[in-house]
Structure 1
Amino acid sequence: MLLPDKHITFAESLLGLGAYVLETLSTPMTIDQVWRSFEKSRGADYPAFHSFDNLVLAVDSLYALGILSLNEDGKLSRYEVSKRHATN
């Protein structure tokens, strides 16, 4: 369920849910705020069902990959790569 395959669409995979999380995090948010945003967009903007557990797994995966960080206020934010690090 982490990756899409023959029987699991991209939207149903944790990778697809992670992409939604990254798109949602234009500003730092708590996990509860991300969940509320997902619940509002479920059906119309996001075609697959996911539980809160799946959201936590997607966030954990993004954090382990170094794509998300947790700030001092306990909010999730996208890890911004500086241009100096990107060129090395």
Structure 2
Amino acid sequence: MITPTKGIAPDRSLLAVGAQIVMQLDEPRTVSQAWARFKRWRTEHRHYSPVSFEWFVLALDVLYAMGTVELHQDLLTRVRRDTDAAPSER
């Protein structure tokens, strides 16, 4: 479910859907705006396997659990992190 399986196509796995959602969050958006942009993006990129709103929300849940998105004042925002957050030990 989170990753592709025999029953879940790669473009419908929650990680793939989550990545597609994050690409739509170039600026803060409402959930409705993100949903509309997500559906448009999938159509433009020929991802025709269906993704329901419930599946979209599950992908948002995964992103939130990973600390990738936050919801502030009804706006979804992408959390930006430094790539060097954990310095390597020497």
Instruction: Give the TM-score, by structure 2 length.
Output: 0.80
Aligned residues of 1:4 and 1:10 also touching (Cα < 8 A): yes
Q: How many angstroms apart in 1 are the aligned matches of 2:46 and 2:26?
A: 17
Shift of 1:87: 4.2
1:54 aligns with 2:52: no
Q: Which residue of 2 aligns with 1:77?
A: 77
Any gaps of 5 or more consecutive residues in structure 2?
none
Q: Percent identity?
A: 35
Root mean square deviation, CA, Å: 1.9
Q: Which residue of 2 aligns with 1:2?
A: 2
1:86 aligns with 2:48: no
Q: Which residue of 2 aligns with 1:37?
A: 37
Shift of 1:80: 1.3
Q: Which residue of 2 aligns with 1:25?
A: 25
- Stretches of 4+ aligned residues off by more than 6 angstroms: none
Query: How many pairs were matched up?
Result: 86
Which structure has the larger Rg? 2
Q: How many angstroms apart in 1 are the aligned matches of 2:54 and 2:22?
A: 17
